[in-house]
Amino acid sequence: MGRKAKFDGTPVPTGRGRKAKKQGDPTFPKGVLVKEEKTLSHRQKQRARKRSLKQQSLKENIKKLKEEKRVKAKDIVNESIVKDASKQLKKTKKKKKSPEPVPLENGSVSDESEEMQLDEDSVASDAEGVVESRKQRTKKKLVDSDVESDVTDSDEEDSDAPDDEDKDADGTDDDDLLPIEKANKKLKRKQEKERKLAEEEMTDMMSQEFDFNFPTEEELADAGNLKDVQQRMKDVVMILSDFKRLRDANRSRSEYLDLLRKDLCTYYSYNNFLMERLIQIFPLDELLEFLEASEVQRPMTLRTNTLKTRRRDLAEALINRGVNLDPIGKWTKIGLVVYSSQVPMGATPEYLAGHYILQGASSFLPVMALEPKENERILDMCAAPGGKSSHVAALMKNTGVLFANDMNEDRVKAVVGNFHRLGIVNSVISTYDGRKLPSVIKGFDRVLLDAPCTGTGVVSKDPSVKTNKDEVDIQRCSTLQRELLLAAIDCANARSESGGVVVYSTCSILPEENEWVVDYALRKRDVKLVPTGLEFGTEGFTSYRQHRFHPSLKLTKRFYPHVHNMDGFFVAKLKKFSNIVRKKKDAEEESLE
């Protein structure tokens, strides 16, 4: 407390007042400055004493056991030495008895008797060497047995195995290994033996039970019974998987393949050309899985419009309307998969308000690989109907400029409608031919090209692909895709601080429309493939039949219906390093070299 104020003008005395209290020295709680040693209770001391007594008794028991083992080892060694010595003596007795030395006239011994005595001495010395070596071996074995006392009984059974089995592939003995390594080796040998026996039994069973008769022309013409066709397909696939053993000696592999192709075309309603291409792409077991998965519709998926809502709020609203849904997976934070719905998903108030758009799960992937940033200039060359473009605009958060282009004017109307509904305001919509865009506008930070293709990855959506595609269609699409990809690379700006990126994608699984096109672009432009950043998917092809592509094509990603439960898709991400376009003469000279 301070002094009381005086307002009559008299000076206030300085110093401590009458009622003021002097502050004492600071005090700290126990254990803050000095750590006191923890004292044990009486019960804890008793337990500690018991533990120490137990440990001492265990150590004494272990010492006693070791001493007993050493005594036994010495006894066994002595017995083995005695046995070996007796055996060696018996062997020497069985040999021809040496004749008594014949004295000569001068009192010396004959040379023959001297030789026999030398032979006996050498035999005795050899016997002593054998005894010593046997003694060392027995000691070594006894030491190993002491170490391996804790190994399982299976090791004891295998101890009688021949010496050749106790050696590695390098020829080293098991004696140099640790006991746990020995046990592991013996277990592996047992497993290999069991596996070989199981394989032999399976092959014997299959050879006895499996009996395939090649169908006649009448049976092939009768395609009404699909069960017979299905069983025949499975049998042919089994024969081709082990052709050397299960084949008919009078039939070639090409005949079996032709039969399988005809049955597959009959059962799944494909034309011969497309089925041949699929057989070349997939192994036979995987081919059947792909064809089965292509017959099933993919689950309905939708993408949350992050410009207007969050996925959690959208899911709650749709669940209240009787929609059964779940997140697509850990790889996306904006996708939902719909299992069943009591209301049409394209007419809910949330859909009309632009909170979501119906979009396939595979269509998320190219935009995720593109990785658009805010305040960038981005081009989508084939934008209709606007699913990927709206996704790009949402990631840009309505900043920068998005150019959505599509050649078909009728399809552009769908882009306009979706953009208005989703609330996208940073877009410019155009209807140019994508191949001519470099002459109209350039300098984009990022370019997305979802090229038109044959649609062999979306057979479940469009079953007409099975029958209406041939060699001419694939060649036409491949040529168009090459031109579009070169134009997309020319539109990108290599000097962009954040971009210079081109993403190429198709909904086809044919290498002619995917790896072949990207490999062509790598040779014609100064670009390189970079990782897509996608967490899943299979690697692209670096070789296809007689063709060999650039090794970096393994950085591309392929997606299949039977593996990833989404439409067949291909995604490649390119990085541009120079805006200079090489002339045709230079490119031709390089190709000739």
Q: What is the mean pLDDT of residues 230-240?
A: 83
Rounded average pLDDT over 526-548:
90
What local confidence, expressed as pLDDT, does residue 428 receive?
94
pLDDT: is 498 or 123 the higher one?
498
% of the chain residues with pLDDT over 90 = 38
Higher pLDDT, 119 or 411: 411
DSSP-derived letter for residue 365 is: H
Q: Indicate the pLDDT class of residue 588, thresholds 50, 70 and 90.
A: very low
The residue with greater pLDDT, 99 or 400, is: 400
356-358 and 300-304: which strand pairing? antiparallel
CA 270 to chain centre: 32
CA-closest candidate to residue 77, choices 66, 85, 88: 85
Look at residue 7 and give its three-state secondary structure. coil
Between 177 and 426, name the one with better pLDDT: 426
Angle of helix 471-491 versus helix 515-524 axis, rounded to 10: 40
pLDDT for position 584: 45
Task: Give CA angle at 526 (521, 527), nearest 5°.
Answer: 65
Among the ranges given (109-113, 176-180, 364-368, 387-391), the one the predictor scored with the smallest mean pLDDT:
109-113
For residues 503 and 388, the answer to whether their CB atoms sit within 8 Å is no
pTM over 0.85: no
Q: In the prediction, which pLDDT does 510 show?
A: 93
Residue type, 278: L
Over residues 176-199, the mean pLDDT reads 80
Which stretch of 77-81, 90-94, 324-328, 516-520 has the lowest confidence by average pLDDT? 90-94
**pLDDT-based confidence at residue 111 (cuts at 50, 70, 90):** very low
pLDDT at 169 over 50: no
Rounded average pLDDT over 257-268: 87
- d(Cα 283, Cα 21) in Å, to the nearest integer? 94
The pLDDT assigned to 207 comes to: 52
Q: What is the structure's pLDDT at 120?
A: 47
Give the confidence band of 152 by pLDDT, cuts at 50, 70, 90. Answer: very low
Query: Do 351 and 345 touch, CB atoms closer than 8 A?
Result: yes
Mean pLDDT of 256-276: 88
pLDDT attached to residue 103: 44
In which band, very low, low, confident or very high, does the pLDDT at 112 lie, cut at 50, 70 and 90?
very low
Q: Report the alpha-carbon distance of residue 275 to residue 480 in Å, rounded.
A: 23
What confidence category does residue 483 fall into, taking pLDDT thresholds of 50, 70 and 90? Answer: very high
40-52 pLDDT tens trace:
888 888 888 888 8
Please compute the mean of the pLDDT values over residues 370-394 and round it to a whole number: 92
Q: What is the pLDDT of residue 514?
A: 92
Alpha-helical segments (H) within 242-339: 243-246, 253-268, 272-281, 284-294, 311-320
Statement: residue 183 has pLDDT above 70? yes
Question: Is it the case that residue 97 has pLDDT exceeding 70?
Answer: no
pLDDT at 200: 73
pLDDT tens digits along 270-302? 999 999 999 999 988 889 899 989 988 888 999
CB 500 within 8 A of CB 444: no
Residue with the larger pLDDT of the pair 590 and 427: 427
Is residue 414 helix, strand or coil? Answer: helix
Report whether pLDDT(29) > 60: yes
- Asked if residue 166 has pLDDT above 50, the reply is no
- Which residue would you say has higher pLDDT here, 122 or 310? 310
Q: Which of 382, 477, 491, 507 is catalytic?
A: 507
Query: Among residues of the chain, what percentage have pLDDT more than 70?
Result: 70
Q: What is the pLDDT of residue 363?
A: 92
In terms of Cα–Cα distance, which of 240, 236, 233, 246 is closest to 203? 246
Taking residues 567-590, what's their average pLDDT? 75
> How many separate helices (H) and strands (E) can be counted in the chain?
20, 15
Tell me phi and psi for residue 203, to 5 degrees.
-65, -40
Q: Pick 77 or 332 by higher pLDDT.
A: 332
Mean pLDDT of 73-93: 60
C-alpha 534/C-alpha 365 separation (Å) is: 7
Does pLDDT of 304 surpass 50?
yes
Length of the chain: 593
Nearest to 182 by CA among 152, 162, 214, 204: 152
* Residue with more model confidence, 520 or 171: 520
Rounded to the nearest 10 degrees, the angle between the axes of helix 584-592 and helix 515-524 is: 110
Q: What pLDDT was estimated at residue 5?
A: 64
What is the distance between the alpha carbons of residues 378 and 384, in angstroms, rounded to a whole number? Answer: 15
Residue of higher predicted confidence among 151 and 232: 232
Distance separating alpha carbons of residues 332 and 364, to the nearest angstrom? 8
507 is catalytic: yes
At residue 364 the predicted structure's pLDDT band, cuts being 50, 70 and 90, is: very high
| Burial (0-12, 13-18, 19+ Cβ within 10 Å), 189 | middle
User: How many Å apart are CA 325 and CA 443, to the nearest integer?
Assistant: 42
Residue 451 burial (CB count, 10 A): 25
**Judging by DSSP bridges, how do beta strands 501-506 and 527-530 pair with one another?**
unpaired
What is the model's pLDDT at position 89? 57
Tell me which of 139-153, 213-227, 335-349, 533-547 is least confident. 139-153
Mean residue pLDDT of the chain comes to 79
Structure tokens at 463: 């079953």
pLDDT score for 84 = 61
Buried b (16+ CB within 10 A) or exposed e, 377-411: bbbbbbbbbbbbbbbbbbbbeeebebbbbbbeeee
The per-residue pLDDT for range 441-480, each reduced to its tens digit, is 988 999 999 999 999 999 988 899 998 888 999 999 999 9
